[in-house]
Amino acid sequence: MKMQPTPLFRPGSPEATTALQRFKAYATSHTLLAEVDKQISRAIHEPAGFAFVLLYGPSGVGKTTLIRQLEHRAGVVREPAFPGFAGGPRHPHPFAPVPLLLLETRPPDGATFNRAEYYQVALKQLGEYPYDPSWEQKKGRGKDAKFNDSAELRQIYEAALQRRGVRTIILDEAQHLLKLASGVKMIDQLDWLKSMTNTTGVLHILTGTYELLPLRNLNGQAARRGLEIHFPRYQFQHEPDQLAFQRTLLTLLQQIPLKVEVKPLVDQWSYFYERCIGCIGVLKDWLVRALAASLAAGQSELLLERIQECALPIAQCESMALEAAAGEQELHYTASRQQHLWALLGMKMSEAMIQQQVQPIPEEHVQPLPDEATTRQKPRVGEQQPVRLEVGEPQDKG
């Protein structure tokens, strides 16, 4: 059977626009995305005492795709963003349960993150618009004043979360929470989120770049209540990562709605890696630009020359790679830090002792304890029964 040639899209035609939008909407699952998705889904299903999750990784690694997958499973429908506030997700019914709420954390207009504006954006996204201009004029004291917080708005916001059944809030671009004026501590932001979690039971997921790393382990309480999830890029020197990257590149090329010589392009996978630094989100955006340029030129085939034309400049790739490598280096848990932890825990041991296989606990030590009633012994003669003794001066009962 003779294969039909790939149709030629007329530049600017509805068919060309539809083909481009279909490819833009396509989200391929790949190894690292699936692993992080599993971790974050497990935390959402059972937070197990965590008040917040820090999800960080290099820019363009695929966090947006992950968020879209979480929204889809939660039944969130997306539409174009309304003028005036960030967002775009909507829910089937204005007062239907909203298990997951996505908020894009805006950079503050001033020196410090504006909490009152955050409440207003969240309430609008929930379809609730209670607002009294007088709240803007009520100035809080202390930390409330520094963050332009509003007790009235916060109470309404927390009540709305509970009424609508919100269980998870994703704060995208959460590094904007760290935009603080001098004299304001980062721990105040985490305490604010933990306080709302204690009131509403909502798990906050903070997603962003490695700029979120300063929020790690600010104190013992924050370390206990926070879960860290790293969304890494594919590493060139790691062979399994090379294979996973090639598979993902192959899958994306197969979705291009033009003629594509797939094998010669996949053979150039190291070039694709170089210009996306191992981040699938960057790779996908690059292919979208190349497809759009090909459609605009009326081409029926995606050529390597067009792909090269749409690649990011080397200087920009170098800047992205430096930023990613710096974050990865900060995350690297060195042997000296592990030894420091052992010292804190009184676990100073020789290397030979560390490498010894852990011996199993004897079976008799793990048997269930007998019932207390059957093991209680009779008191010996002359032994005082356990009683509550009075404390203080004896009082005259006469």
Tell me what pLDDT residue 379 has: 55
Same domain, 242 and 181: no
Report yes or no on 346 lying in a domain.
no
Cβ partners under 8 Å of residue 272, min gap 6: 249, 265, 283
Q: Is the pLDDT of residue 386 over 70?
A: no
Split at pLDDT 50, 70, 90, the class of 292 is very high
Domains: count for the chain: 2
How many Cα atoms are found within 13 Å in the side-chain-facing hemisphere of 148? 17
Q: Are residues 203 and 254 in the same domain?
A: no
Same domain for 260 and 169: no
pTM for this model (two decimals): 0.77
Domain range holding 135?
Answer: 27-230
The DSSP string of 207-271 is EESGGGGGGTTSSHHHHHHEEEEE-PPPPTT-HHHHHHHHHHHHHHHHT-SSB--HHHHHTTHHH
* Chain centroid, CA 222 distance in Å: 16
pLDDT on residue 367 = 58
* 33 and 72 belong to one structural domain: yes
Same domain, 201 and 268: no
pLDDT digits (tens, 9 = 90+) for 122-157: 999 998 876 566 555 555 554 545 556 788 899 999
* pLDDT above 60 (res 384): no
* Arithmetic mean of pLDDT over the chain: 81
Assess contact for 291 and 256: CB atoms under 8 A: yes
Confidence of residue 111 (pLDDT cuts 50, 70, 90): low
Residues 136 and 46 placed together within one structural domain of the fold = yes
Choosing from 215, 230, 245, the residue where a domain stops is: 230
What CATH number is attached to the domain comprising 196?
3.40.50.300
Instruction: Provide mean pLDDT across the span 335-350.
Output: 72
Of 197, 230, 263, the residue that ends a domain is 230
Check whether residue 226 and residue 245 sit in a common domain. Answer: no
Does 212 lie in the same domain as 77? yes
What tokens does 377 get? 């012994």
